[in-house]
Structure 1
Amino acid sequence: MNQIEEMDVDIVFGLVAEAGKAPLLAHEQSGTQKPLLGDLVASQSPAYLSDINSDSSLIIGRTFTTWGVDLSSKAQEFVDIYESNYDSRPSKPTWAAFGAYAATQMYARVRTEDGSSLDDTVETMENTTYDLNQTYSVYGPDEESPDGNAYPHDLKYGPGFFQPTWSQWRDGEQVTVYPEQHANGEYQKL
């Protein structure tokens, strides 16, 4: 991390799972002014600032939802269910929890309503959406994505569908900086 400051880069991109807190802590302690950006699961924890003993961070993390956004009633219901069932870390659902919950709810709804063969379930899933804080929907087998490619049964991304949220911790709060419809602040170089 000490060498990063000397490098001709604007940001450092990282993919770090919850158990990999060491690179995040090393970045925080190094004093580099190069932001660390990416899928940095530990930075999504509501306890992150206490973990690094700070009130702000140059880390910009991506996840399914951040705590700096207004939650829909359905999303808040999920958070309440989570908090009532788990008393250990993470204290709130993080990383892919919202997406996993949406996918499970979509499947359960289709199986309950459809109740027929698995092939029928797949076809029904291709035409199903689930609104949590964002709209979850999958591509059909012949459906073209905006980039002109086919991604059968993959999650639809982009405006009107799922877009990861990007956040930054500052002044003790997690601020969502992207996408615009969920942002409650702009990125700031600390």
Structure 2
Amino acid sequence: MDFDDRCHKLIDGGGSELETESAGEAEDEDEEGHEYGYKDVEWTEDDQKNLTDLGTSEIERNKAIASKQEINKRFKEVKDRADIKEKIEALKVEINNSEMPTIGNLDDALKEKTVKVEKEIKFEKAKVLKSMGLDETPVLGFQSKVEELNEEINEGIEDVIRLSDLKSKVELLKLKKEL
């Protein structure tokens, strides 16, 4: 049976019995493979290492997924705690009652309460990470860079707030001038 016949048999689903080939047929098959541009492939140590690494990375990936799912579950438990929910809801009510259009317009006391509640929640989440052995350790220089960026962001926000107040005042002046 030549190469093409075996392909047709395989594609057509013909025969369920395995055929044994004589040494001559195996040599013919080798020659046919080379005739079609196929080359012999040898399994190398690098191939074995790559296969092992692939298996290891898949195991590590599965562990990471399971770990992330556990962290998310524990964070949700923190968020769903009655005391945390109560603080968040009280803060929402207070913000809504302030009738300020944006968070930037809130008075300083309310801003401080917001920051305090946010810190409490972050602290609880940090406790979760510690309990799981995932204590966060800051990279040297990273914390200072984050603080610098936060300052820049806050300055930008303040500038925008000031600009929007300024723009509204300019528009008011234009309207008054027209009257």
Larger relative helix fraction = 2
- Greater relative contact order: 1 or 2 (C-alpha under 8 angstroms, separation 6 or more)? 1
Larger relative strand fraction = 1
**TM-score where L is the length of structure 2:** 0.25
**TM-score where L is the length of structure 1:** 0.24
